[in-house]
Structure 1
């Protein structure tokens, strides 16, 4: 039988009356710092377990917390992700395990300590796992004949302040140009937005955050699977007083808007998804499998089912049809996380293109053991938009990046940007050229000159005008593969002179952009490329983790502050 829901919080609240100040102190604040959702998922798990122990619990993001009020909180738990972009640290790869293997025993110890400080009030017991907690929100359908504002359209608005995550700007897409040959396996787009009237300003190295949405086909399948009426309007009401409403959902809202713009049905589901899903199941076989996936012992099998093939939430729901059709609409926001914004390095300068913004987007598409190819949610959505067929709006805002270029116009800049990693350097070069700055040196690499040489005409014009020195490496245009590190080594004397005499700054950006030598896994060392330079005992090294460039450094400590390395989304990696 499915778990019985806890009918509201009246019993909990009534049991708390009369327990005095001690009960008033039984509250917990859980703050999370999360990039991909792992820390948030753990924080929300702590919140659920706190409610089972009759603690008043709030779960909030760190950047939305008023630090000045922390002193008034009796208990605060901080949950932060610490392994960078999802990769385990180099020195623990052989022993690396999934987060739950660490969190499970830690939570047991945590609750022992908390209950020692704040025992359960007399007459109360820990709420068992066979009891389903109430949903965070109750979904109230509105009468079909009642008037409703048209909330399903993303309308351009004049922002009261600079656009941000809670108040993005609906930018008009001006162009969506494929910059790779049709015969090339990789679809890369140069996309331009009109940001006039937004109040947005940015400089080279900054990052634009884009809020994507699910494709119509997936939205239709989801509604059919759960037997939801897409055009029904509803309002949300918090189950507990003081719980804020989701800030990115209009009130009232339609089911179609909720599924299209908010619920991340394309993400890989986590353990908590299967735990809650099991509580709805009336099918014995499905419930047993769901309970296995949500148990500590079943995490390896869950990883093989979900993470390894990148199975989506929607696909997992198709595998449990009897359970899925029994999901109450009230629990949708507890079951499925919200769609997270995606970060892209800005690939243009406002000095060259006033009131415009450009990004370079590689459309993510790859195969796993599943028959259907995997697709990136945001890149696929952006590539599908055609501004020539009507007004296309994309919600976005800008975040400051960590890439800082030298203020001294005489300081040379060496940029290593293979593939789409060249995006922030295009912005930097446009900005520096508009300021009349020369001394721009770009090492660019791709597979074929004729297929994926992004911005070729633009680079060649700047070379002709004397604003850019360009070094290219086309790895597949000859029998022996050539990468940017080979071009750096070939021009080692120039690089050394720029560093030693010109005080040049070196920048690296990109993802899967360099060819790294194979090393035995047991050696425990980060794969790297070392390029000898003519200076005394000097090397330029590029390091890699999980096939991605992670850092660039000089062997001589003298020049370490001149080296900066970044991911493609503009996050600083390591000096």
Structure 2
């Protein structure tokens, strides 16, 4: 049987799902399988009815939401008028990436798997639920699942025996050719080879609006190890509308010093220009990369040279290293078993922003007080609790001033300044009657943000105790009450590892 073209479609918010999807593409090529890897919203979803073999890789964001680059696909695939036999010719597998500290762990992957079955598609194997909270990371679940996937695929669609698998450590054939130009079209050697034309249409991720920065203010104490900033931008001439809860995506660039150092180490001429050409007709060039492009522009604007490398980076280095021992170590760092060594090797200080607990309506995160009051012109917050340190008590003076004016009740838990630690969950229990009254009688909202390791579980247990002690609910009824708050979006979490 002739092996079909494998299609890998990904929905990725931060790049992790895309990295896994591209890994699938590399492993398919090692097994001599034709493979295309695309973002879900860049694929013509109506063509799914003709695809025989598809692997979906999708992350879950926020409160069970799909990533931005699969929202159009999400709306289409859940159209009620799609026939139940739409995808009856398709074999598929779904790989999810999520965080089990969230209530809707891998919600997108689970819902997509069920929907594909409803449309008649056949699952090659059970869904894979990668978990950021696993001590070895999501790859501890993904790696054995991928082994089962390739076994199933090659069983159904065997490749010719005269095409052996390309082993790990052997570089794959390049997808592109890079041709340096004999002359630099633009004399500005350290900038783009082509002048940037005026963007057409409204601002978007591919055509961003270059907003001037107005202020850049540090909001943590000068001696605090966390450097958290309030940055304001001027979008007066952009035509962009802004509503509460919107976020800004900032495309950074590498510093001139880092760019110069990178080029020096690799022996690259920053002023040299090149064009990139695919070796195969169905391989697109990287989106957004100008043609031609200068080495300086490539390194400064498009390569993340200061990031913590992913597993795939060490896998690629292993293919390029001429030293056997070095190659073995690189392959170890690219394995799930080597993740502890990889984290130690790549370790650098991590910034934890702030644990914020709100047990009143209409706020989220460490936002400025004036902005909070803009969100709730007719409802005053009844209580607010912050756990961290005086050094990262964001807008502390403003919060205290609002409390003096009677606009809110402020409760703090500065655990880093205490001999006997007092955390958010302790303050919640102390204020149990108030918390119950706010939630049960005044329709309050509860927003929880902070580190995902222990805090969400501890706070949830404190709430369950309050529901039982103050509300007289049994343990099962307290769990049902909490679930109802989550379902109606009156209890929301935003946590990170």
TM > 0.5: yes
Match of 1:423 among 357, 367, 372: 367
Asked if residue 84 in structure 1 is aligned to residue 67 in structure 2, the reply is no
CA distance in 2, matches of 1:191, 1:35: 22
* 2:194–2:293 contact (8 Å) kept in structure 1: no
Confirm whether residue 161 of structure 1 aligns to residue 202 of structure 2. Answer: yes
Question: Is contact 2:31-2:166 (8 Å) kept?
Answer: no
Count of matched residue positions in the alignment of Structure 1 and Structure 2? 423
In the alignment, which residue of structure 2 is the partner of 1:267? 307
Matched, 1:473 2:408: no
Q: CA deviation at 1:553?
A: 7.7
Distance (whole Å) between structure 2 residues aligned to residue 559 and residue 285 of structure 1: 55
Distance across 2 between alignment mates of 1:564 and 1:148: 57
User: Is residue 454 from structure 1 mapped to residue 378 from structure 2 by the alignment?
Assistant: no
* TM-score relative to the length of structure 2: 0.70
Q: Please name the residue that 2:320 is paired with.
A: 280
Residues 1:97 and 1:459: Cα distance change in structure 2 (over 3 Å): closer
Structure 1 match to 2:493: 566
Aligned counterpart in structure 2 of residue 445 of structure 1, from 376, 382, 386: 386
C-alpha distance 102-140 of structure 1, shift in aligned 2 (>3 A): same
SS at match of 1:139: strand
RMSD: 4.3
Structure 1-normalised TM-score? 0.62
CA distance in 2, matches of 1:375, 1:154: 38
One of 139, 155, 176 as aligned partner of 1:137? 176
SS in 1 for 2:9: strand
| Residues 438 and 554 of structure 1: CA distance in aligned 2, closer, same or farther (over 3 Å) | farther
Deviations 1:111-130 (A, max 9, x none): 44434444436x85135337
Query: Which position in structure 2 is the counterpart of 1:29?
Result: 7
Point out the more displaced range, 41-50 or 463-472. 463-472
Instruction: Give the 5 Å matches for 1:335-374.
Output: 373-374=348-349
Does 2:265 match 1:225?
A: yes
In the alignment, is the contact (CA less than 8 A) between 1:415 and 1:442 conserved in 2?
no
String of CA shifts for 1:335-365, please: whole Å, max 9, x gaps: xxxxxxxxxxxxxxxxxxxxxxxxxxxxxxx
**CA distance in structure 2 between the aligned counterparts of 1:113 and 1:252, rounded to whole angstroms:** 43
Give the C-alpha shift of residue 497 in structure 1: 2.7
SS at match of 1:510: strand
1:388-537 to 2 correspondence within 5 Å? Answer: 413-414=360-361, 421-423=365-367, 427-432=371-376, 436-449=377-390, 451-463=391-403, 466-476=406-416, 479-511=419-451, 528-530=461-463, 532=466, 535-537=470-472
Q: Is the 8 A contact 1:158 1:198 kept in 2?
A: no
Task: Check the 8 A contact 1:538/1:554 in 2, yes or no.
Answer: no
Which structure: greater strand fraction? Answer: 1
- Three-state SS of the structure 1 residue aligned to 2:297 is helix
Please report how far the alpha carbon of residue 70 of structure 1 lies from its aligned counterpart in structure 2 after TM superposition: 0.8
**Equivalence for 2:164:** 126
Distance 1:554 1:475, change over 3 A: farther
Check 1:170–1:538 CA distance in 2 against 1; reply closer, same or farther (3 A cut): farther
In structure 2, the residue corresponding to 1:471 is in which secondary structure? strand
Give the match for residue 395 of structure 1.
none
State the secondary structure of the residue aligned to 2:212. strand
Residue 216 of structure 2 contacts residue 231 of structure 2 at CA under 8 Å; is this kept in 1?
yes
**How many angstroms apart in 1 are the aligned matches of 2:19 and 2:380?**
47
Secondary structure of the 1:430 match is: helix
C-alpha spacing 1:209/1:424, structure 2 compared with 1 (3 Å): farther
Distance, in Å, in 2 between the alignment partners of 1:98 and 1:163 is: 33
Cα 1:245–1:95 change in 2 (3 A) is: closer
Alpha-carbon distance in structure 2 between the residues aligned to 1:491 and 1:86: 28
**Equivalence for 1:65:** 43
Q: How does 1:207-246 map to 2 (within 5 A)?
A: 207-246=247-286
1:341 alignment partner in structure 2: none
Give 1:140 deviation, angstroms: 1.6
Q: Which deviations, in whole Å up to 9, do the C-alpha atoms of 1:272-323 show, x marking residues without a partner?
A: 33333233233444334335545x6xx53x32432234x1xxxxxxxxxxxx
Q: Which of 306, 331, 339 is the aligned partner of 1:303?
A: 339
Q: Residue 190 of structure 1 corresponds to which residue in structure 2?
A: 230
Answer whether contact 1:154 1:170 (CA < 8 A) is retained.
Answer: no
Residues 135-180 of structure 1, C-alpha deviations (whole Å, 9 max, x = no match):
222222122443368428997966612422x222222111111122
For the pair 1:178 / 2:105, whether they are aligned, the reply is no
Question: 216-225 or 185-194, which moves further after superposition?
Answer: 216-225
2: CA distance between counterparts of 1:557 and 1:111? 38
| Higher RCO (CA < 8 A, seq sep 6+) | 1
- Once the two structures are superposed, what CA deviation does each residue of 1:239-279 show, in whole Å capped at 9, x if it has no partner? 21132221232222222222222222333334433333233
The aligned residue for residue 49 of structure 1 is 27
Q: Is the 8 A contact 1:34 1:40 kept in 2?
A: yes
Q: Distance in 2 between matches of 1:532 and 1:226?
A: 61
Correspondences of 1:310-349 after superposition (within 5 Å): 311=346
Contact 1:553 1:563 in 2 (8 A): no
Look up the SS of the partner of 1:444 in the other structure.
strand
Instruction: Give 1:514 deviation, angstroms.
Output: 8.6
> Is the partner of 1:229 in helix, strand or coil?
coil
Give me the whole-angstrom Cα distance separating, in 2, the residues matched to 1:485 and 1:103.
Answer: 34
Determine if contact 1:158/1:197 at 8 Å carries over to the other structure: no
Deviation, 1:200, is 2.5
Confirm or deny: 8 A CA contact 1:140 1:236 kept in the other structure.
Answer: yes
Deviates more, 1:231-240 or 1:147-156: 147-156
